[in-house]
């Protein structure tokens, strides 16, 4: 929950941003967001009780989350020790490695500690959504690496996220593209919960504010493209993205627009959240995370022609060499993952060279057509 109560401002947005369009592959992943999974995981989370730093309930919740990640096949699972006021707990960090930018991270985070109650909304709702994202994305290719982070001691003053930034982010000089925070997105049972607040950085230091605004605009568009929710724009404050923001990292976040009165009380239970609303938030979140991490569907090389075309080096920095055993005139195309033609030409020799030095890093599809058949190969452009 937010550390202070500040009135939300902003307008309800129904504006689409032209730079972003619907992605069919991302939609296929959004369609896998499962209402029953979210309900079951949130119920299990709440049943552990009050999960303050150092409590047995917090330990049990942590072990439960580790078990879920292990059951989905994750192996890069870290527990970062957090100490405060004589109590010890752990942040949970699970890393999924990207295919193109393995050392650049999208962090999606939310706290799992609770105070004065089971915390079904604050922040079981965010916890359940992050878990569902991780379940679906386990075997999906993403250009950027993703860190799924569950912070402890948020309710004690963002202690867990501050210690993570101080102990790991800064000493290891982590390259973080974006911190995407989810805190209290459960709505109120029985109310109309049809709007989600997207949060941007408006605090000092100011040099990262424009990038935060840009990513938050992208987040708003994704929430509109992949969920049924209306959008409210507000400012970031009082949650686990703050320690990152203060160090100059780019942040964005989600928070409920219809703010529940139950967090920090024994009434913050599953009976008082709106699971339909949480499901819609999860769908929008999946679309946004796929967009931020650049999830893509690997296209396999064409069947009998796979051995007739050789490409190297791959990944390529400057010059891609294409060799083929086929004779005669051939058409060659290089497309990005949206289908846009980046390069095309016609050649008759058995060897061809493509200058990729000015192409952005990313995944491309090489198509070779000889009038009878087509070969497709995935090409990774990665500049040194």
Average pLDDT rounded to a whole number, residues 10-19:
37
Other CB atoms closer than 10 Å to residue 303's CB: what's the count? 8
**What distance in Å separates the CA atoms of residue 39 and residue 24, rounded to the nearest whole number?**
26
CATH ID of 12-296, from 3.40.630.10, 3.40.720.10, 3.40.50.300, 3.30.300.130: 3.40.630.10
Peptide bond before 225: cis, by omega within 30 degrees of 0?
Answer: no
pLDDT at position 21 is 83
Query: b/e per residue, 177-213, with b = 16+ CB within 10 A?
Result: bbbbbbbbbbbbbeeebbbbbbbbbebeeeebbebbb
Sheet-wide strand order for 144-151: 12-13, 230-235, 195-200, 251-256, 175-182, 101-111, 144-151, 87-96, 77-84
Q: What is the mean pLDDT of the chain?
A: 90
pLDDT at position 10 is 37
* Domain residue ranges in the chain: 12-296, 306-381
The answer to whether 160 touches 89, Cβ cutoff 8 Å, is yes
Report the CATH number of the 306-381 domain. Answer: 2.60.40.3080
Average pLDDT rounded to a whole number, residues 305-326:
81
Task: State percent of the chain over pLDDT 70.
Answer: 90
**What distance in Å separates the CA atoms of residue 20 and residue 294, rounded to the nearest whole number?**
13
pLDDT at position 310 is 85
pLDDT at position 246 is 98
Other CB atoms closer than 10 Å to residue 32's CB: what's the count? 14
Residue 48 has pLDDT above 80, yes or no: yes
Q: Apex CA 349: angle with CA 358 and CA 311, to 5°?
A: 50
* Residue 151: Cβ-neighbour burial (10 angstroms; 0-12, 13-18, 19+): buried
CA contacts within 13 A on the Cβ side of 217: 12
User: What residues contact residue 72 under an 8 Å CB cut-off, 6+ apart?
Assistant: 134, 135, 138
pLDDT at position 367 is 83
Average pLDDT rounded to a whole number, residues 162-166:
98
Residues in the chain: 384
* SS3 state of residue 262: coil
Question: Which is it for strands 87-96 and 144-151: parallel, antiparallel or unpaired?
Answer: antiparallel
Residue 51 has pLDDT above 80, yes or no: yes
**What distance in Å separates the CA atoms of residue 81 and residue 144, rounded to the nearest whole number?**
26
From the list 213, 216, 214, 291, the residue with the least C-alpha distance to 22 is: 291
Alpha-carbon dihedral angle through residues 98, 100, 104, 106, given to the nearest 10 degrees: -50
The answer to whether 292 touches 178, Cβ cutoff 8 Å, is yes
pLDDT band, residue 114 (cuts 50/70/90)? very high
- Find where tokens 């250009």 sit: 143
The answer to whether 92 touches 79, Cβ cutoff 8 Å, is yes
12-296 and 306-381 share one fold: no
Residue 15 has pLDDT above 80, yes or no: no
pLDDT at position 373 is 61
CA contacts within 13 A on the Cβ side of 148: 28
Both tokens of 161, joined, read 């996220």
Q: What is the pLDDT of residues 185-225, one digit of tens each?
A: 999 999 999 999 999 999 999 999 999 999 999 999 999 99
What distance lies between CA 264 and its chain's CA centroid?
Answer: 27
From the list 178, 149, 144, 146, the residue with the least C-alpha distance to 252 is: 178
Q: What is the pLDDT of residues 319-359, one digit of tens each?
A: 999 888 777 888 888 888 777 889 988 888 888 899 999 99
The answer to whether 102 touches 145, Cβ cutoff 8 Å, is yes
Average pLDDT rounded to a whole number, residues 279-296:
96
Answer positive or negative: Cα dihedral of 103, 104, 108, 110: positive
Q: What is the pLDDT of residues 59-103, one digit of tens each?
A: 999 999 999 999 999 999 999 999 999 999 999 999 999 988 899
pLDDT at position 2 is 67
Residue 12 has pLDDT above 50, yes or no: no
pLDDT band, residue 9 (cuts 50/70/90)? very low
Average pLDDT rounded to a whole number, residues 227-245:
98
pLDDT at position 14 is 34
pLDDT at position 218 is 97
* SS3 state of residue 236: coil
């Amino acid at each position: 929950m937010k550390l202070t109560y500040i009135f939300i401002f902003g307008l309800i947005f129904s504006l689409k941003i032209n730079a972003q369009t619907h992605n069919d592959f991302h939609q296929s992943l959004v369609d896998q967001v499962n209402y029953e999974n979210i309900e079951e995981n949130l119920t299990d989370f709440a049943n552990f009780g009050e999960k303050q730093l150092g409590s047995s309930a917090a330990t049990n919740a942590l072990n439960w989350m580790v078990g879920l990640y292990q059951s989905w096949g994750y192996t890069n699972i870290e527990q970062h020790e957090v100490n405060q006021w004589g109590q010890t707990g752990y942040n949970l960090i699970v890393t999924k490695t990207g295919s193109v930018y393995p050392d650049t991270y999208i962090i999606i985070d939310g706290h799992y500690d609770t105070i004065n109650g089971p915390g079904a909304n604050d922040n079981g709702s965010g916890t359940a959504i992050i878990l569902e994202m991780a379940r679906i994305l386990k075997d999906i290719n993403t250009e950027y690496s993703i860190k799924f982070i569950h912070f402890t001691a948020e309710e004690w003053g963002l202690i867990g996220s501050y210690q993570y930034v101080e102990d790991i982010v800064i000493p290891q000089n982590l390259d973080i593209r974006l911190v995407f925070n989810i805190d209290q997105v459960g709505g109120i049972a029985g109310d109309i919960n049809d709007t989600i607040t997207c949060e941007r950085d408006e605090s000092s230091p100011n040099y990262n504010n424009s990038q935060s605004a840009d990513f938050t605009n992208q987040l708003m568009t994704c929430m509109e493209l992949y969920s049924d929710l209306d959008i409210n724009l507000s400012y970031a404050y009082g949650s686990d993205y703050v320690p990152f923001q203060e160090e100059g990292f780019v942040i964005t976040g989600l928070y409920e627009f219809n703010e529940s009165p139950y967090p920090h009380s024994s009434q913050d239970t599953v009976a008082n959240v709106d699971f339909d609303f949480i499901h819609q938030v999860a769908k929008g979140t999946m679309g946004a995370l796929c967009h931020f991490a650049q999830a893509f569907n690997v296209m396999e090389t064409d069947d009998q022609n796979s051995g007739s075309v050789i490409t190297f080096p791959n990944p390529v920095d400057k010059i891609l060499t294409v060799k083929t055993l086929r004779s005669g005139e051939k058409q060659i195309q290089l497309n990005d993952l949206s289908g846009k033609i980046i390069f095309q030409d016609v050649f008759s020799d058995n060897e061809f060279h493509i200058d990729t030095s000015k192409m952005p890093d990313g995944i491309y599809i090489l198509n070779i057509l000889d009038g009878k058949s087509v070969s497709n190969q995935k090409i990774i452009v990665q500049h040194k």
